[in-house]
Amino acid sequence: MVTRREFNRGFIAVAFSGLATHLQGGELTRYLSNVSAASGNLSNLPSGPAALGSLVPDPKGIIDLLPGFSYQQISHFGDPMDDGLTVPDRADGMGCFELDDERVVLVRNHELSPSKSANQLADKSIHSTRVYDTDSSGIPLPGGTSNIVYNLKKRQVESQFMSLLGTIRNCSGGTTPWGSWLTCEESVATASNAINKNHGYVFEVPSRATTLVKPEPIKAMGRFNHEAACVDPVSGIVYLTEDRPDSLFYRFVPNIKDDLKAGGQLQALVIAGKPKFDTRNWQQPQMQINQDYACQWIDLDNVESPEDDLRLRGFARGAAVFARGEGIHFGEQEMYFCCTSGGKAKLGQIMRYRPSPESKHQSKGTQTGTLTLFVESPNKATFNFGDNLAVAPSGHLIVCEDQYSDVVNNHLKGVSPQGQVYDFAKVRWQTEPAGACFSADGSVLFVNLYSPTLTLAIRGPWGSLYA
């Protein structure tokens, strides 16, 4: 049993390492220097999230932030881009990559379906090999990713362009240690008289792309309602969430660590000794908070799942079931992921999975681990439908809310190392925040407002989040 005190100690270490594990060499040095300069003497800081103060109303009516923080609007729906297209709507998951000492590139998903207007694409000549799928009129499907090259020093966008096109509902995804973005289709649409190909795949977009990449679905990673992904930098194993009320938690064991297109084995998580374990806690709670559950993994077959029954077949073989797996973030030897509608109140859970250390006598495909329920929201004030996750330089979690109601009151929620939840920001528009991610030096939080697309760069005294 993990005690609350052990959890709190672990939370800050893991959350801090969750960001630092993606930084290497000079990146890590600059990151630590930034944190040190921002935080100053930690012993003199006030204690607890309550000391951070109340959100300051935004006179522009876009987003309220904690005192001392400010935002810059860097990309808007309809802005002209360098490729002759305009910024698409429905900006969702996003990753940030360092290009050099001054510049980063954001790879941003657009969760668009074929029914959404693609009029801007109708009159554009786009080479067919650079588009995954088209509608019956030959117009590219509007889903995909856009790249933003942003200069941190000058605080300006240097270029914007589409980097993937012709997909459906690119929801979230994840960064890779080798500098690419895994963008995930939250759709299992099949070829019909309206579209020409099957969907439900993961695509890889190099962060240093300068134009549309050749779209190649990584079919061995499974065809299902993909949500997000993260990569274990040691093993190269990719962990995947699924946005369904009866979802599974997956992992892809690649044949070659940094070449996902070379194939591999898709697996599903099983709680050891507890087949078909229900982590959702909707009825009689099965999963206890802060208790470690030993896990195993089972191989899945027929992973392209033409009947969209991959999760059902996995569950029948004993896989654990989750309540709408969402954003996932890998730290040092462990990861956190949200289950949007999990818990007795159906308002959300945060899970932690810790892979066991690799052994010379154990192949990656048989590597086990432990699953822990860290947070289960008891009420809307704690958090309401947690979605994407990010890690602040202070070690606090930043959780994007995505409420499902006609009138929403979405926030960016902070979670302190002591497990306290507080409001970091409130979105004033009737939309969700999404794609939260930090620059490599830890100085800027980038976040999308879903619709109409608005990408923000948030700066401020990140050190004040220490508690």
Q: List, for residues 182-238, the tens digit of each pLDDT value.
A: 999 999 999 999 999 999 999 999 999 999 999 999 999 999 999 999 999 999 999
- pLDDT one-digit tens code per residue, 261-292: 999 999 999 999 999 999 999 988 889 998 99
Nearest to 433 by CA among 400, 406, 408, 465: 400
214 DSSP 8-state letter? P
pLDDT in tens, 119-151: 677 666 777 789 999 998 889 999 999 999 999
Write out the H or E segment, with its range, that includes residue 164. strand 156-167
For residue 356 the two structure tokens come to 């066991």
**Phi, psi for residue 68 in degrees, rounded to 5:** 90, -15
Rounded to 10 deg, the angle between the 26-39 and 4-20 helix axes is 130
Neighbouring C-alpha atoms within 13 Å toward the C-beta of 10: 18
Residue 416 has what pLDDT? 73
Kindly tell me if the per-residue pLDDT of 47 is higher than 50.
no
Segments making up each domain of the chain, as ranges: 1-76+385-402+409-467, 77-217
**Residue 44 backbone dihedrals phi, psi, to 5 degrees:** -90, -5
Q: What mean pLDDT do residues 173-181 have?
A: 97
Of 95-99, 190-194, 238-242, 356-360, the one with minimum mean pLDDT is 356-360
Strand (E) or helix (H) holding 88? none
DSSP state string for 100-150:
SSSEEEEEEEE---TTS--HHHHT----GGG-S-BBTTSPBPSEEEEEEEE
C-alpha distances out from residue 85 to 122, 401, 439, Å: 11, 30, 26
What separation in angstroms does the CA of 429 have from each of 58, 117, 364, 378, 390? 11, 22, 45, 25, 21
What number is the average pLDDT over the span 439-459? 96
pLDDT of residue 48: 52
pLDDT in the model for residue 359: 65
The pLDDT confidence band at residue 361, using thresholds 50, 70 and 90, is low
Answer whether residue 32 shows pLDDT above 70. Answer: no
pLDDT tens column, 294-340: 999 999 999 999 999 999 999 999 999 999 999 998 877 788 899 99
* C-alpha span between 357 and 236 (Å, rounded): 13
**Residue range 388-403, pLDDT digits in tens:** 988 777 778 899 999 9
Question: pLDDT band at residue 29, thresholds of 50, 70 and 90?
Answer: very low
Contact 147, 212 (CB under 8 A): no
> Would you state the pLDDT for residue 44?
36
> Do the beta carbons of residue 138 and residue 198 sit within 8 Å?
no
pLDDT confidence of 85, banded at 50, 70, 90? very high
CA 53 to each of CA 42, 127, 198, 295, 340: distance values in angstroms, whole numbers, following the listed order: 17, 53, 50, 41, 27
Q: Which of 346, 333, 450 is nearest to 388 (CA)?
A: 450
Q: Which residue has the higher pLDDT, 252 or 30?
A: 252
Rounded distance between C-alpha atoms, residue 386 and residue 400, angstroms = 6
Instruction: Give the C-alpha separation, 221 to 195, whole Å.
Output: 22
Q: What is the mean pLDDT of the chain?
A: 87
Q: Which of 328, 345, 348 is nearest to 391 (CA)?
A: 328
Q: List the structure tokens of 97.
A: 């990559």
Phi then psi dihedrals of residue 446, to 5 deg: -100, 140
**Between residues 176 and 464, the one the model is more confident about:** 176
- For β-strands 180-185 and 143-151, DSSP reports them as unpaired
Q: Which of 132-136, 239-243, 364-368 has the lowest mean pLDDT?
A: 364-368
Q: Which residue has the higher pLDDT, 84 or 28?
A: 84
Task: Reply yes or no on whether the pLDDT at 24 is more than 50.
Answer: no
- Per-residue pLDDT band for 118 (boundaries 50, 70, 90) equals low
Q: Smallest Cα–Cα separation from 171: which of 234, 125, 224, 215?
A: 224
Token readout for 206 is 């190099």
Contact between 359 and 263 (Cβ < 8 Å): no
The reported pLDDT for the residue numbered 123 is: 62
